[in-house]
Structure 1
């Protein structure tokens, strides 16, 4: 039995949490806030009409933009409410409910591998700690040999950057480029955010 994610623990403790999250991003979109920074970076990493996995897709803000850019997007999230909102707000991609620690898309009839995987929005820090390495191994299993995964999260969220990179190495993923933001600022020892572009080792 896979340990329940921190996200779903939050949902169990507060049944309104998912609705709050969905409305938060809908409100930001209505206000004209820039919600596409992660998608712009991933779009620049791949060729036109690439196959992209949005891992921990939430309500679809990243995968939706990538689909509008012409990519073949599959989004996976553990929270059914977020997947429902993704389908409502961003029709086009295939949105699936699933735990990243048990990710096996070919078993669900989804063709793999993917040209890129994006894991934005601090998703790695919402996983159950015991599942982090398994999630990264499953990312590697779903990546094309020349594909890359773009994973971003902040410091002080219970997952040290060094530990993450060690877990990635254990999952046969190695750094291609480390950044401190989705807008391509270089990573430094005192960076408070990490965007790791990882390739199969």
Structure 2
């Protein structure tokens, strides 16, 4: 994307539209840390969490001063709350089958009052990695509602374009109800 001149930091730019630094951000499912590193550069207090230790090793090598934690999103407990809990990079459809409700509950437990849980993911095969199952938007909404989170906004992408149900991508913003 960067080689084509595309913005590779759309997720971080989206966060800047929600809260100002030094707000606390949990990059849940951070992978190799691209977004967490960018948010740190922008002045946010960031924690990156991922279940995959190999991914976290890459993140730690890239930014050894950041707070990287191994965590399963269906059962994690960090003992702290965040202004934004961010799930980017198709985390929702890549979850282990049957864990979305548990993940939503753990996300809700980690968002601060007045904060937001932000999930961006593909809604069809064209917007997902090969072989990745589609998670219907209604399934996300049920899980978030059951976890005590209410839909605040929905967009077609990280650029904040209005959501269109015929599109293949969604960024949903939920807040404690």
Q: Give TM-score, length-normalised by structure 2.
A: 0.90
Q: Which residue of 1 aligns with 2:73?
A: 100
In the other structure, the counterpart of 1:194 is 170
Match of 1:152 in 2: 120
Count how many residue pairs are aligned between Structure 1 and Structure 2. Answer: 169
- Which shifted more, 90-99 or 70-79? 90-99
CA contact (8 A) 2:117 2:173 kept: yes
Structure 1 gap segments, 5+ residues each: 1-27, 107-111
Query: Structure 1 residues 82, 30: CA separation in 2 closer, same or farther (over 3 Å shift)?
Result: farther
Deviation >4 Å, runs of 4+: 28-33
TM-score (norm 1): 0.80
- 1:176 equivalent in alignment to 2:139: no
Partner of 2:86: 118
Q: Which moved more, 1:65-74 or 1:82-91?
A: 82-91
Counterparts of residues 15-164 of structure 1 (less than 5 Å) = 34-106=7-79, 112-156=80-124, 157-164=133-140
Cα deviation per residue 1:15-41 (whole Å; 9 max; x = unaligned)?
Answer: xxxxxxxxxxxxx66786532100110
Instruction: Report which of the two has the higher share of helix.
Output: 1
1:95 aligns to what SS in structure 2?
strand
Over the aligned positions, Cα root-mean-square deviation in angstroms equals 1.5
> Which secondary structure does the structure 1 equivalent of 2:58 belong to?
helix
- What is the CA-CA distance between 1:97 and the residue it aligns to? 1.0
CA distance in 1: counterparts of 2:44 and 2:36, whole angstroms: 9
Note the C-alpha offset of 1:46: 0.8
Separation (CA, whole Å) in 1 of partners of 2:169 and 2:5: 24
8 Å contact kept, 1:117–1:149: yes
- Does the C-alpha gap of structure 1 residues 30 and 89 become closer, same or farther in structure 2, counting only changes over 3 Å? farther
